[in-house]
Amino acid sequence: LWGKNPLKLFFFSRHVRCLMFFSLFLGLTCLSGFFHMKNKNYSISKSHEELLIPPMLCRAKTNVMFLKTHKTASSTVLNIMFRFAERYNLTVALPADQLFHLGYPRTFRAQFVEGFEAIGQNYNIMCNHLRFDPLEVKKVMAANTFYFSILRNPIPLLESSYIYYKNNVPAFRNSKNVNEFLASPTKYYHPADYRESIYARNIMWFDFGYDNNAEDDTEYTQAVLEEIEQNFHLILIADYFDESMILLKHALCWDLDDVIYFKLNSRSQDTVQTLTPESEEHVKAWCSLDWKLYLHFNQSFWRRIEETIGLEVLKKEVDHLRTRQKELMETCLSEQEAVRKDHIRNKALLPFQSGAANILGYNLKQDLDNRTLRTCQKMVMPELQYTSYLYAVQHPHKRRKEVGLPLLWTSHQEK
């Protein structure tokens, strides 16, 4: 019958093909639920036709290298990375032996990572302080690793460095305050003081692996900026931290709770020194390499947002992040905010104190159930304690890194 009626045969075949394609699409959609995936369609659909377009799916990136720069809110990012690694049972490239950084300020070498000889290129996460060397990092991280870092406006960064490293950097130690230093930096700063002086000039440039005392030559700086663009998939901006977390969430295809944070390693407001307008201009000249670095990637940051997320969607997602953050603070914290070091009740959660800064920490509520308490503890855990804890979990036969503070968990609680 069908052979005698080609028109009916055509419509029947077309109907079968449609059913097959629909079944295939439905199956793939269901299958995607088994993976850590999410909608990658960032634009707000404004037409019926756009609503009919199937959303693109992405898979969460689990091989990630974060270049932890100094005084750029990077300790908060490190906490996010550590929690993600634990949540998905990932391996972190941790500093060997008793160190808490990966050889810094020496240029990074693969052997600075604990267990590199045995584990090889099978680490998922790298995020402790190091001075970047792309060839050496690639020996440790997989070929499909996502590389990102974070920058901060050099003006507040220099003031923050001054307070934090006041006792360590001769150029800072020998000047009365940050404005006096900036009025005549060459009077106090000596490039020969290699290890001590790096924090006083172009520290971000140094962290990326370049000479922080190099001449600010246009051809040279442009070449460096292009090289950083080639080595890193994304550069975030600390001055727009919440916006950075949303951009990171999309770039890595992570969930909102993966980038929720409590601000860590911040200091009390009474230790902040106000820069004069003249000092601010002096920073731009004194740290001109960092200034160019910041201006360049601040532009690319906002361009990336406009090209992928859009400002309207960004605002909504930032609002969601802040709402979720507030919920967690109400759940976890007794004071709903960070407190001064002398007000932290549990000394196991006391942050490392440096220079003239008073580094703030948190007090947790007393009546939390065990699961909630563990989640809250990890959100407020300072960098040194978290590094020591992860090291004990990943390398149980090695001597635990000593923080000089009470242990939050005993050894039998660590898994």
- Taken in order 68, 71, 72, 73, the sign of the CA dihedral is positive
- Spatial separation of the C-alpha atoms in residues 112 and 129, rounded to whole Å: 11
Residues near 65 by beta carbon (within 8 Å), at least 6 away in sequence: 125, 126, 127, 137, 141, 145, 146, 147, 148
CA–CA separation, 292 vs 211, rounded Å?
14
Record the pTM. 0.85
Do the strands 125-126 and 57-59 form a parallel or antiparallel pair, or are they unpaired?
unpaired
pLDDT at 29 over 80: no
Tokens of 52: 């009919």
What number is the average pLDDT over the span 15-22?
Answer: 51
Query: What is the per-residue pLDDT across 172-190, written as a single tens digit (0 to 9) for each?
Result: 999 999 999 999 999 999 8
Share of the chain above pLDDT 90, in %: 76
Query: What separation, in Å, do the N-terminal and C-terminal C-alpha atoms of the chain show?
Result: 69
Residue 32 in this model has a pLDDT that exceeds 80:
no
Question: So what's the pLDDT on residue 5?
Answer: 46
Residue that is written with structure tokens 């959609």 in the block: 29
Tens of pLDDT along 36-70?
Answer: 444 333 332 333 333 334 446 889 999 999 999 99
Pull the structure tokens for residue 289. 């390499």
CATH architecture for residues 64-394: 3-Layer(aba) Sandwich (3.40)
Contact in structure between 100 and 383 (CB atoms under 8 Å): yes
Q: Apex CA 147: angle with CA 318 and CA 70, to 5°? A: 75
